[in-house]
Every structure is written in C-alpha cells, then in structure tokens.
Chains A and B, each alone.
Chain A
C-alpha cells in the first residue's frame, strides 16, 4: 500500500522568503509523484509532477520539487514567496495501475507581508 506524509499542516513564511513544503511517500514500486495547489473555494490544480527522468521538476508559478529516492521524499520549494502563493498544497502518489491517487493531508501556506 502506498502512503504520503506531509510534515506540517501549517507553514508560515514572510513575503520574499524561501518556501519549503515537505512530502515523504511510501511505495513498493517506483512512484509517480504530484503536487497540487488549492486556492480558497476552488478545486485542486496541478503544480508539477514527477514521472521518470530528471529528478528536479519545475512547475508553474516558480515552484519546483526534487525527487530523492534514497530519502523517499519529494519536497516542494520556491525561492521567494509571494502573497499570491497563500493556499493549501497537497502531495500525492499514484500507483502503477493508475487507478489510485493517494493524497497527503495537505499543508496550508500562509505568507506574511
């Protein structure tokens, strides 16, 4: 069975500071990994995904994530936070059959002026 753990249900940063949202996964096979963002009263939107190949993945809005197999991690980063980045972020892992996407509990990012 696969699972996803997001460390920190709430993260607060100042505008312009580094954003680091942590995600660890467990999977018995090489995983497909995703980060989604949810703005208030909206559905989830894809930020980025890792499938195969390059372990550093770039997404929309300046976010990127690095797949580290040895650490079973897929942390999300952004060098400089903007007020518009305030949202909830979800890490997810897909099984090989593709019929089950397992989500972490989510991390709410707050950006202080």
Chain B
C-alpha cells in the first residue's frame, strides 16, 4: 500500500526554469492538497482540489499552477522558478474533503532548491 507518492524526491533548478512536481495517491481519495514547508513557518497550503475537475487557491498560490489530471493524480507546476520557491513541497490527500475532522495523508516530500 503506497499511499501518497511524490516525484522527484530532490530537484535543483536555476532561476527562470520550469518544472512539474508529480503526486499520485492510491487510496481512492477525492481531495488532494499541495503544501510547502519552510523553517519556522509550518506548512502552508498552496492549492487544493476538493474533487476531480476542481482546484482552488490556498494561502500562498502565487507563482504556482496545478492540474488535477484524474482522481489519482494532482501535479504542481512552477512556470518560472524563483529563489523564494526554495522549499520542501508536500502532497496530501484525504477523504472526504468536507469532513473537517478527517486527517491528511502525506507523501514524503520533494526538496526543491532554486539557485
């Protein structure tokens, strides 16, 4: 049972380059999330998808785009990377989206450095 799988695990980009972070879950969850983790700031929500075909902005969406490809996959794209986007990125899923007491299931993260 893989849970939430993120690729790649590590990435180094130059300023202005683009890349897509991939996330897939095998738990048949409807809702999926992208967070970034920065020291001392906890996790901040970038975008989420309550169900297949829908996406919404979170707390820090600027500089990012997302695609909910199907029920399993939710990708995060950086069109023009900036040093401020150096962070650890986590994908998560849960079921159902509307249940506030439902916990998140996290992937192991992608460590991104932008030089």
Partner-B contacts on A (CB < 8 A): 4, 6, 9, 32, 34, 41-46, 49, 51, 90, 92, 94-101, 103-106
Contacts of A9 in B (CB 8 A): 40
Partner of A42, one of B100, B103, B104, B108: B108
Contacts of B108 in A (CB 8 A): 41-43
Residue from A34, A42, A43, A98 with most neighbouring chain B CB atoms (10 Å): A43
Partner of A101, one of B41, B45, B56, B107: B45
User: Interface size of B by Cβ–Cβ distance < 8 Å?
Assistant: 26
Q: How far is the CB of B110 from chain A (nearest CB, A)?
A: 11
B50 interfacial contact with A, CB 8 Å: yes
Partner of B103, one of A46, A96, A99: A46
By DSSP majority rule, is chain B's interface helix, strand, loop, or mixed?
Answer: loop
Decide: A105 near B45, CB < 8 A? Known: A42-B108, A49-B103.
Answer: no
Per the 8 Å Cβ criterion, residues 60-115 of B in contact with A are 90, 92, 97-104, 106-109
Q: How far is the CB of A63 from chain B (nearest CB, A)?
A: 15
- Among residues of B, the one whose C-beta sits closest to the C-beta of A98 is B100
Q: How far is the CB of B64 from chain A (nearest CB, A)?
A: 17
Q: How far is the CB of B11 from chain A (nearest CB, A)?
A: 15
Contact B101 A106 (CB under 8 A): no
Partner of B42, one of A43, A96, A97, A106: A106
Contact B97 A103 (CB under 8 A): no
Decide: A90 near B42, CB < 8 A? Known: A43-B90, A99-B50.
Answer: yes
Per the 8 Å Cβ criterion, residues 29-56 of B in contact with A are 40-45, 48, 50, 56
